[in-house]
Amino acid sequence: MAHAPEHIPRLLALVRALVSAKRLPLTQLAEELDVTEAELRADIELLSLCGLPPYGPDNLIDIQVGKDGLVRLSNRVLAPPPLQLTDEEAAGLRLALKLAEAQGWPESRALASAIRKLEHVLLPERREGARRLARRVGVVVDPDDAAGERWLALVQRAIAACASVDMTYYSDGREARTERRVDPYRLVATEHARYLIAFCHLRQAVLTFRLDRILRAKQTAVRFTPPAELEPRDYLGDAPKDAANMVAVTVKFAPSVGRMALESYPAAKATADGGALLKARVWATFAFCRQIVAWGGGAEVLEPAGVREMVRKYARELVTRYEER
């Protein structure tokens, strides 16, 4: 559980949400407050014990979860008004704006104007403090990601309209570009990249596409019916639906890069010589080869032999490029 000072804003946010909405689904509140349902239930139980002396029914916060999964607030023992933000909270909004702009979200403009409005009503010293802090906390984007995702808006519109999209896509795994038609289902943001989950007419399967690898896209007049249910984790992450096609690899890291390997791969284990050993399931693609090559000889694929040979060939080809001319 969060320790008390950060716990308080969450408890107040919960009460505040219910003061205006009266009742809200437990699942939605858990998602928006970024807690598990069990943690949220614990919060609700705690709040129901809070109030004023003599702590009778009229003095306690009347909050509970119904059998219908709705959280209800039935009195106003605690009814916080909209509250002034701290420097950190206001700066957090600006930092989110930096992220949104760096990633090319079309909502960035509306976000910027919302932040302007909010900062306008902040206490002058908080406004100044937030802006000063926002200049000191930043987001750094690699050069080729910087102007990255110009197709974000188009993809969002196509998802909303259930319209098929014709696109040119650069496959990192195959290092090749292809033309294909896709039915865009879902946009997924992770810590590192934005992805489109879509039905691909070329491969006749639901696939994941990195948005910054879409080189060109055009919405078509063709409409599709989206699937009723779609679980993003089936397509992204460590255990996707088609994990059967992944390959179990063992990678050895030299002592010189051992610590860095442990930092890069949480699943890696330290070895006695100061190096590291990674056993993982990966897609045996050129993208994996590049990952190994980037260690400059500090990483060695031990098995399977096929992947080891693929990495060797790939690196050999890179050397050839440097022998030419």
Partner 1 sequence: MARSKSKRLVDLLTLLLSARYAVSRASIRKLEGYPRGEEAFHRQFERDKAALRELGFPIIEVGDEERDAGYLLERARLKLPDVRLSPEETVALALARRIGGLHSLVGGNVRQALGKLGLIGMAPDSTAGVVAVAPPARAKGEEDRLRLIEGAIARSQRVNLRYRKLGADEVSERAVDPYGLYVHGGGWYLVGHDHLRKATRTFRTSRIEKIARATRGAAADFAAPKDFRIEDYVERMLWGGWKGVKGDVVVRFEPSDAWRIERLAGARIAVKRAADGALLVRFQRANPDSLLAWVATLGRGVTIVEPAALRAEARRSFERVVRAHAGKPR
Cβ distance to partner 1 smaller for residue 151 or 204: 151
Q: Binding of partner 1 at residue 12 (CB under 8 A)?
A: yes
Strands 63-65 and 23-25: unpaired
Cβ distance to partner 1 smaller for residue 55 or 202: 55
Judged by CB under 8 A, how many residues of this single chain contact partner 1?
A: 143
Residue of 44, 65, 148, 200 that binds partner 1 (CB under 8 A): 148
Which range of residues in 99-107, 199-207, 217-225, 275-283 is near partner 1 by CB under 8 A? 99-107
Residue of 225, 228, 272, 321 that binds partner 1 (CB under 8 A): 321
CA distance 175 to 197: 20
Residue type at position 214:
I
Backbone conformation region of residue 237, classed left if phi is above 0, alpha if psi is from -120 to 50, else beta: left
Two tokens, residue 6: 């950060």
Contact 194, 184 (CB under 8 A): no
Q: Binding of partner 1 at residue 164 (CB under 8 A)?
A: no
**Shortest gap between Cβ of 298 and partner 1 (angstroms)?**
8
**Shortest gap between Cβ of 121 and partner 1 (angstroms)?**
4
Q: Binding of partner 1 at residue 129 (CB under 8 A)?
A: yes
Find tokens 């910054």 and name the residue.
212
Which range of residues in 27-35, 62-70, 203-211, 217-225 is near partner 1 by CB under 8 A? 27-35
Count CB-CB contacts under 10 A for residue 137. Answer: 12
Cβ distance to partner 1 smaller for residue 160 or 244: 160
Cβ distance to partner 1 smaller for residue 68 or 142: 142
CA distance 238 to 250: 16
Which range of residues in 12-20, 62-70, 203-211, 240-248 is near partner 1 by CB under 8 A? 12-20
Residue of 84, 128, 179, 273 that binds partner 1 (CB under 8 A): 84
**Shortest gap between Cβ of 218 and partner 1 (angstroms)?**
16
**Shortest gap between Cβ of 220 and partner 1 (angstroms)?**
18
DSSP 8-state assignment for residue 64: E
Query: What's the distance, CA 2 to chain centroid?
Result: 21
The residues in 229-248 that bind partner 1, with binding defined as CB under 8 A, are 232-233, 236-238
- Helices 286-293 and 305-323 sit at what angle, rounded to 10 degrees? 70
Cβ distance to partner 1 smaller for residue 204 or 228: 228
Two tokens, residue 202: 């070329």
DSSP 8-state assignment for residue 255: G
DSSP-assigned beta bridge partners for residue 216? 168
Which range of residues in 17-25, 200-208, 217-225, 240-248 is near partner 1 by CB under 8 A? 17-25
DSSP-assigned beta bridge partners for residue 276? 253, 270
Contact 217, 167 (CB under 8 A): yes
Q: Binding of partner 1 at residue 58 (CB under 8 A)?
A: no
Find tokens 């808006």 and name the residue.
153
Cβ distance to partner 1 smaller for residue 70 or 204: 70
